[in-house]
Homo-oligomer: A and B are copies of this chain.
């Protein structure tokens, strides 16, 4: 009976189970507490067991990224490039908001995983099939940069430390303390201007989603203008 319990104590572990557990752990506890040891414990297994399914921690991270990128919706068909691209990027953004650790993980792994390449490939396809030149498409991809994956690195990123200590954190986004407001008057001007909107608390008065779409549309409009004037070379 001990043998039975040991024998069928778990669905037997697999690369997929490892990857999804890792994603869940990073979502809940923050990426900085994702260690091979913690992950193994979560799975009721000894740390070295993981190495039968992923080569090492870097490959684990790559796998986690692929899981996340795989959650992004496929492109819309039958619309123009602009709605299709816009919808796709906003879908990517929604996905990444569920996995706040992902942007940093993606950026730090400095080469594209197959899933990211596939995502980029199908994104490029949106443009090419709507008549963009390869040159313009290339520049457009650079212009969008990481926004194409749903994130822009905000200098004040509130989402990054989601998870971690649980919801008990008593600190609201900390409407800048008076001494910094004094030293940096223009930052303060912007912050307080944003704060007296209708949003909940004083410090948080900045609608991330709105800002993201604002910047995205600014780019998309500029791109459309280039295209309509038959963009050629520099």
**How far does the Cβ of A70 sit from chain B's closest Cβ, in whole Å?**
16
Residues of chain B within 8 A (CB-CB) of A154 are: 142, 145-146
Residues of chain B within 8 A (CB-CB) of A108 are: 104, 108
Residues of chain B within 8 A (CB-CB) of A156 are: 111-112
A216, B209: Cα distance in complex, Å: 21
Let me know if A187 and B110 touch, CB within 8 A: no
Let me know if B110 and A160 touch, CB within 8 A: yes
Residues of chain B within 8 A (CB-CB) of A149 are: 155
Interface set, chain A 114-171, CB cutoff 8 A to B: 114, 116-118, 120-122, 124-125, 128, 134-135, 137-139, 141-149, 152-157, 160-161
A234, B214: Cα distance in complex, Å: 9
Interface set, chain A 62-117, CB cutoff 8 A to B: 103-104, 106-108, 110-112, 114, 116-117
Sample 27 A-B pairs with CB under 8 A, ordered by A number: A104-B104, A106-B155, A107-B153, A111-B156, A116-B155, A117-B183, A120-B184, A120-B187, A121-B184, A121-B185, A124-B190, A134-B190, A139-B211, A139-B214, A141-B190, A142-B152, A142-B154, A142-B211, A142-B212, A143-B211, A143-B219, A145-B154, A145-B215, A218-B219, A218-B223, A218-B226, A222-B222
